[in-house]
Amino acid sequence: MLPDVGMEGQVKIKQAKVLVVGAGGLGCPLLQYLCAAGVGTIGVIDFDVIEVHNLHRQILYNTEDIGKHKAIVAAEKLRALNQNVSILSLNELLTEENAEGIFKDFDIIADGSDNFNTRYLVNDFCIKLNKPLVYGSILKSEGQLAVFNFQGSKNLRDLFPEPPAPEDVPSCSETGVLGIVPGIIGGLMCDLVLKIILDHKVETGTLILVDLQKYEMKKIRY
């Protein structure tokens, strides 16, 4: 019913193939909204298992799912949400050996991973295969968003040429994250994915910084 979507746009959504890297805090809301929107093929790759401390932010899961593999449980929940969507569950670690074979079958890659090694791996294979990358990250009450490698735009290494040393990078498990933050950032990531699918205007060369403590959103051009 939206004039800038319409039946033509819904068909584009139905025909789209999106891979979500990570079924954690960012991946959960992103997957749910992509599925509810009717994205025709959704892939989810994650090798991790559900733990009790995930549940305040990884909203696809409940206490009965603790100890189960995220990719498998997420796929089950998504199929129950929308039976008209094809869900591909990849219960494995993303590596240099399997990334190309996985990425080549998708139109858009959305990265909700929680470590820099994976983020740079995803970025580099998106460049190699010329796939647009929707990027998100979170910590405490803050988040970041960007679209990389889209229509000739810059990529993650243009912004940050090399990943930081592991000891310099705090994680959500160590530092914490407000449960609503990945929900908001994951929802915004879905908006960017849908904009790409629908051929709507997508701002590139921009890092979006969201601070929910101060309720501020900033755009940094690079």
Sign of CA dihedral 106, 181, 55, 61: negative
pLDDT band at 172 (very low <50, low <70, confident <90, very high): low
pTM: 0.96
Domains of the chain: 6-221 (3.40.50.720)
Supply angle C-alpha 45, 178, 59, rounded to 5: 45
Residue with tokens 């960007």: 146
pLDDT in tens, 24-60: 999 999 999 999 999 999 999 999 999 999 999 999 9
70 backbone dihedrals φ, ψ, rounded to 5°: -60, -45
Contacts for 47 with CB less than 8 Å, ≥ 6 apart: 69, 71, 91, 92, 93
Mean pLDDT, residues 94-105: 97
Among 116, 42, 28, 38, which Cα is nearest to 82's? 38
Round to whole Å and give the CA distance between 131 and 143.
23
β-strand pairing of 133-139 with 142-148: antiparallel
Helix, strand, coil % (nearest 5) of the chain? 40, 20, 40
pLDDT band at 168 (very low <50, low <70, confident <90, very high): confident
pLDDT at 43: 98
* DSSP one-letter code for 40: S
pLDDT band at 173 (very low <50, low <70, confident <90, very high): low
Residue length of the chain: 222
